[in-house]
Every structure is written in structure tokens, then in C-alpha cells.
Structure 1
Amino acid sequence: MTIGVLALQGDVREHVHALGLVGAEARPIRRPGEVDEIDALVIPGGESTTMSKLAVSFGLLDPIRKRIADGMPVYGSCAGMIMLATTVLDGRPDQESFAGIDMTVRRNAFGRQVDSFEAPVRIDGVDGGDFHAVFIRAPWVEEVGPDVVVLGRVTAGPAAGRIVAVRQGNLLATAFHPELTGDLRVHRYFVESVRDAR
């Protein structure tokens, strides 16, 4: 099983490392031909408008959309969540996404870089108690479609109740950065879901 990490911008190395620790073969991808060589994809945190522009420039938008439509498992963290959303609020007018998950997300919903924070999040299907989540200029989910399962909400603090983890079929998204915490449970959950999908 080979999991690609979209290597246009963002936390690529950190995701490759975390996936390796949970037993997956992971490698960066940045060319259209590489999209057909992977079993699943991770879209890392970073800057979603930059990622969108580069996905168009590198010719990756349509190949990834096609693989998503064909059922390829994908996990997006932070900017990756934005890239998987069908509707993005507070984005650029020309911002593109892979439009895989039927949800509306708001960019930088928790505030600017200076407003970054950490908070506990309980994630359905992930054992071991609350996940210590790192939010950096993070989005949140404002609305989900009927086929989207809400997996996690912030459980404490001023952001309590906000939706920050969702799943729709083979697609998973979190508003936070598990690749920065050393807690491998989200990556393990995704890898297990990829194995189940195969």
C-alpha cells in the first residue's frame, strides 16, 4: 500500500514520517502521473489558496478529482480539509478545491496565526480519549451534507462545539494538525480505513 502526500506546499515531511511510523509506505507526489501510482492520498496543512493555485499550475486538480470520484481514500488536515470541501467561505474568488466532501468550511475561522491554539477533541472511532489538537489558522466546518459523518468537535474552551473532524465514505478531514503532535492515532485510523477500502 502506497500513500502519497501532496507535496505542493505545507507539512509534507511530517505526514510522510507519521505514515511511516504506522506502517504505511508514504512518498511525496507533485506530478499528475504520480496520482495513478498511489492507493491513497494525504493533503497536508499549509496555505489553501497557494495549494489551490499550485494544484492548477501542476495539472493535479483534475487527476485528483477523478481519483476521488473513483473512490480513492484521501485525508486532509487543516488546509487539506479546505481543499476537500465543496464550499469554501472566506476564500479567494478563484480558489479551487477537490470538492470531495459535501461540506461548507470557513478559512481561518479561529483567527489569524497569532490566534493559533491547542484544544482537546474527541474523535469518534479513535480510541484513547481526547486528542490534543493543534489549530494553526484553522478552518472549521459550518455545515455538512447528509452523507457526511461528524467525527469530532472541540470539547472545551471558546471554540467548544465547533466541528473539526468529518468523514464521508473514504474521505477524512480534520481542521487540526495531528502530524505536529506525535500522537499517531489519526494517521493509524486513516491507514486502517485505506486497508479496509482495498
Structure 2
Amino acid sequence: MVKLNAIYTKTGDNGTTGLVRGPRRPKHDLRIDAFGTVDETNAFIGQARLHTADFPAIDAVLGRIQNDLFDLGCDLATPGADSPEDPYPSLRIRPVQTAYLEEQIDLYNADLAPLTSFILPGGSPLAALLHVIRTVARRAERLVAELLEVEPETSAETLRYLNRLSDLIFVLSRTTNGNGAKDVLWVPGNYGDISKG
């Protein structure tokens, strides 16, 4: 069990932050930005879960994802490989966690109406919020992709997980929009009333 007693330490007052290991880094460091954006994704998922009373199974999926995202953030906060001197092994996102997302994508996508156009974020409040989560997860994915280029020792599973996560969130947004029935479709070049599209 993790115990966190101090809310403020003042160690970040100089614009740096600590990782699980290694030297402190500037708060604008790419690695810090990456796991900060993972945390932002998690916070939006928490907000979305306030709207899942009619979707208990989806709420359970989102709850598991929230826990996984803490694992993923810890993975990103622990650069480099373990050494024999480490008191315990690093927490890493595992392929089984990514596989769970794939299983949920297949499960929920099976009931969706086929896509006939791109979808505009909206429909229901929950679906709209899930689209926000999808875009924040994509931003986290882009940051991790960049991080892998400059720090290739970063776990590639973090990138795979985030890629599947945004796919799953897209599918769940459609599910909460009446399995796609309430999706707002993009109408290319429609300069009139989009509600009639």
C-alpha cells in the first residue's frame, strides 16, 4: 500500500519535479508532460464516471482503466531499467492490460451501427465527454511517441496501451449514444443547418 502523508514538500518550488529514480527534471520536461497528460486523461475519466448511472458495465471498464492509468503513469515516471540494487521491481504497464482494452473494443463495437461518416463530438453529455477523453488520450499518445524517440528505453507498451485506449473510448462514446443512433455525423461542405445533416 502506498502511503502519502505530505501534501506539499516545497521541493518543486524551483521548477523541477522528481521521478521514481534518476535526477530531478524540469516540470516542462517531455517525460513529465507525458505522464501529466496521462493524469489529465484519468481526471476526465473520473468526471465521465459521474454520468454512467445508466451504464454500469461501462463504469466498471472506466474504473479499471483509471487504475491502469496510474500504473502507466508510474511506468513513465520510472525511466531506465531495473538494477540489482533496486529494492523492488519497477511497476510497468503489461500486455495483459492492453489486451483487456482490445477485448472491450471487440465487445462493444459488435453492437454498433456501421459508420457512414466521421462523427462530430456530441450527442449526449456522456458521449461528448468521452470524446474529450479520447482527444486527451491521443495527446498523451503523441507525447509518449515523441518520448520513445528521444528516450528509447521507455516502455513501448505504454504507447500501445494509449493507442488502444483512445480507440476504446471512441467506441464507448458511440455506445453511450444509443449504440450510434444518436451520433452526430460530419456532413462535408454542409454550410446550412448541421442539425438537418
Report the structure, 1 or 2, having the larger helix content. Answer: 2
Q: Which has the higher contact order (CA 8 A, sep 6+)?
A: 2
Q: TM-score, normalised by structure 1?
A: 0.26
Report the structure, 1 or 2, having the larger strand content. Answer: 1
